[in-house]
């Protein structure tokens, strides 16, 4: 079991936003671990906590009494400032939770766990897998092999960008698998969103497993982060309290039998970013908008054709370029283009056109569970629309999606 010095255990006795409290205390360099109130006293004691804090929105005395046996200062609170003060004054916490120290510990942990064994890691180019790649690489160098699968649904220049960043910064063993044709052939003619998602998911696992098998590594690196774990255990002991199941390698074939290496499984997203920065990952990689696993596949409504996928890719690149140029990229959670398989009448250079529609969606959210439409400046939207209809053949109309979530989802499929 990994152990972090100066651990503070937060026992969730019925607190709606325990993750926010845990993050706020960590921001003061005090490491917090969240446990459900059904946890055993021994399990808490095993962490040798500096302090134990019971977090409850309503009085929960009865849930606290059985922890009297614990040999650590105890507090009932949902106020991060009060918790921090208590941890410093009564728990003697000095503020040792720092990402540079974390990196040293994590590197040692990885070396201890894998020894001279090989690790294989699926690299998506997203923040979590990129940081895990950099961390494992620092620990074991060439014994790490990253597998980057191009499923043909990536954004413009994405395969080149991901490879370039990792080769330039880390000189990593990186296996690039261009499986575009395989995916796009399987997707041909499929217009049902769920079937599309299933095909992409299954094919991805197959391609990754085939490649991983050739590498013959006993270990599989994973970008599991702390919220994945928190959201998959019922914090109040009630299974109905599970927010979402932690999927990690659930889909991998049993005969692959890897041991997992999950070096950032104690970190919140902001901490993962900080580690990435300290490890030298460029900002353009760390500050990227979240991008769904099925990628452009769920932003291309209906059956995917290579020609219409190319239209979406170009339109999406223009949207991103304009966001970056105006500074709006950093001000939104996700902003992207959607291909709408509808043709409408328009005109260009005095001629009638009959071409496709591109939609633009821009949202802000805290947790992606609900989301608010961003009021992007009209000037910016006009520029995007103008560039798209002029520069992307096959598009003659651009619309802006102003649907909140709920009832709309963020992605269109
Ligand atoms: P929705 O469309 O459900 O999206 O409102 C919520 C957030 O999740 C992302 N998303 C996904 N991420 N695999 C992922 O890794 C997926 O299949 C997937 N579907 C949606 C979406 O981009 C948004 O941030």
User: Contact at 8 Å (CB) between 208 and 178?
Assistant: no
Residue 245: predicted pLDDT? 61
Please give the pLDDT value at position 254. Answer: 80
Q: Is 405 in the pocket of ligand 1 (CB under 6 A)?
A: yes
Residue nearest to atom 11 of ligand 1 (CA): 292
Widest Cα–Cα separation across the chain:
84
**Residue 131: per-residue pLDDT:** 97
Q: Which residue's C-alpha comes closest to atom 18 of ligand 1? A: 292
Residue of 2, 24, 207, 226 whose CA lies nearest to 110: 2
**Pocket-testing residue among 126, 129, 292, ligand 1, by greatest number of atoms within 8 A of Cβ:** 292
- Which residues of the chain are modeled with pLDDT < 70? 1, 235-251
What's the burial of 374, exposed, middle or buried (CB within 10 Å: 0-12/13-18/19+)? Answer: middle
Six-digit token pair at 167?
Answer: 């080769």
Are 91 and 81 in contact by the 8 Å Cβ rule? The answer is no
Closest ligand 1 atom to 333 CA = 24
Q: Whose CA is nearest to atom 12 of ligand 1?
A: 292
- The response to whether residue 211 sits with its C-beta less than 6 Å from ligand 1 reads no
**Closest approach atom of ligand 1 to CA 412:** 2
Task: Return the pLDDT at 30.
Answer: 98
What integer pLDDT is reported at residue 215 of this predicted model? 92
CB-based contact 13:55 (threshold 8 Å): yes
Look up residue 116 and give its DSSP letter: T
| Distance in Å, CA 304 to ligand 1 centroid | 19
- In the block, tokens 């260009």 appear at 348
| Torsion angle (degrees, nearest 10) of CA 250, 252, 256, 258 | -50
Please identify, by atom number, the ligand 1 atom nearest to the C-alpha of residue 197.
17
The verdict on the CB of residue 290 being under 6 Å from ligand 1 is yes
The candidate with the shortest Cα–Cα distance to 4, out of 79, 108, 84, is 108
Say if ligand 1 is within 6 A of residue 334 CB.
yes
Ligand 1 pocket test: which of 293, 411, 412, 413 has the largest number of ligand atoms within 8 Å of its C-beta? 411
Measured by CA distance, the residue closest to atom 10 of ligand 1 is 292
> If you measure from the C-alpha of residue 292 to the centroid of ligand 1, how many angstroms do you get, rounded to a whole number?
5
Q: Is 404 in the pocket of ligand 1 (CB under 6 A)?
A: no
- Residue 281 Cα to ligand 1 midpoint, Å, equals 24
409 touches ligand 1 (CB under 6 Å): yes
Q: What single-letter DSSP state applies at residue 65?
A: G
- 324 alpha carbon to ligand 1 midpoint, in Å? 22
* Cβ contact 135:264 at 8 Å: yes
pLDDT confidence of residue 367: 83
Say if CB 296 and CB 312 are below 8 A apart: yes
pLDDT at 249: 55
Q: What's this model's pTM, rounded to 2 decimal places?
A: 0.91
Q: 219-221 and 173-178: which strand pairing?
A: unpaired
Radius of gyration of the chain (CA): 24
Question: 368 CB less than 6 Å from ligand 1?
Answer: yes
């Amino acid at each position: 079991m990994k152990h972090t010095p100066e651990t503070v255990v937060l026992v969730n006795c019925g607190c709606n936003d325990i993750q926010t409290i845990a993050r706020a205390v960590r921001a003061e360099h005090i490491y917090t671990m969240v446990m459900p109130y059904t946890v055993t006293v021994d399990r808490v004691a095993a962490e040798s906590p500096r302090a134990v804090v019971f977090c409850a929105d309503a009085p929960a005395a009865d849930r606290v009494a059985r922890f009297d046996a614990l040999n650590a200062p105890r507090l009932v609170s949902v106020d991060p400032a009060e918790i921090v003060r208590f941890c410093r004054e009564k728990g003697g916490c000095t503020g040792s939770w720092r990402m540079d120290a974390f990196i040293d510990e994590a590197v040692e942990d990885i070396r201890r766990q894998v020894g001279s064994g090989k690790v294989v890691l699926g690299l998506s180019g997203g923040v979590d897998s990129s940081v895990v790649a950099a961390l494992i690489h620092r620990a074991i160098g060439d014994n790490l092999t990253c597998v980057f699968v191009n499923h043909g649904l990536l954004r413009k220049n994405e395969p080149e960008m991901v490879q370039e960043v990792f080769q330039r910064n880390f000189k990593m063993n990186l296996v690039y698998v261009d499986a575009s044709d395989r995916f796009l052939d399987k997707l041909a003619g499929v217009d049902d969103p769920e079937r599309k998602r299933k095909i992409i998911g299954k094919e991805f696992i197959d391609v990754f497993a085939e490649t991983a098998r050739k590498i013959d590594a006993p270990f599989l690196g994973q970008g599991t982060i702390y919220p994945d774990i928190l959201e998959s255990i019922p914090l109040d002991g009630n299974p109905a309290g599970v927010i979402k199941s932690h999927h990690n390698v659930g889909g991998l074939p049993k005969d692959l039998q890897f041991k997992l290496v999950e070096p950032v499984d104690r970190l919140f997203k902001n901490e993962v970013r900080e580690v990435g920065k300290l490890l030298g990952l460029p900002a353009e990689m760390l500050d990227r908008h979240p991008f769904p696993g099925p990628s452009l596949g769920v932003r291309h409504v209906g059956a995917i054709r290579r020609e219409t996928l190319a239209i979406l890719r170009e339109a999406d690149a223009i949207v991103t370029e304009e966001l970056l140029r105006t500074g709006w990229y950093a001000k939104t959670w996700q902003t992207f283009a959607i291909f709408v398989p509808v043709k409408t009448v328009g005109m260009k250079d005095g001629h009638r056109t009959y071409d496709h529609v591109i939609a633009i969606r821009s949202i802000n959210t805290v947790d992606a569970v609900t989301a608010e439409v961003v009021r992007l400046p009209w000037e910016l939207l006009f520029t995007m629309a103008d560039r798209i209809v002029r520069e992307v053949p096959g598009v003659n109309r651009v619309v802006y999606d102003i649907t909140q979530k709920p009832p709309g989802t963020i992605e269109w499929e």
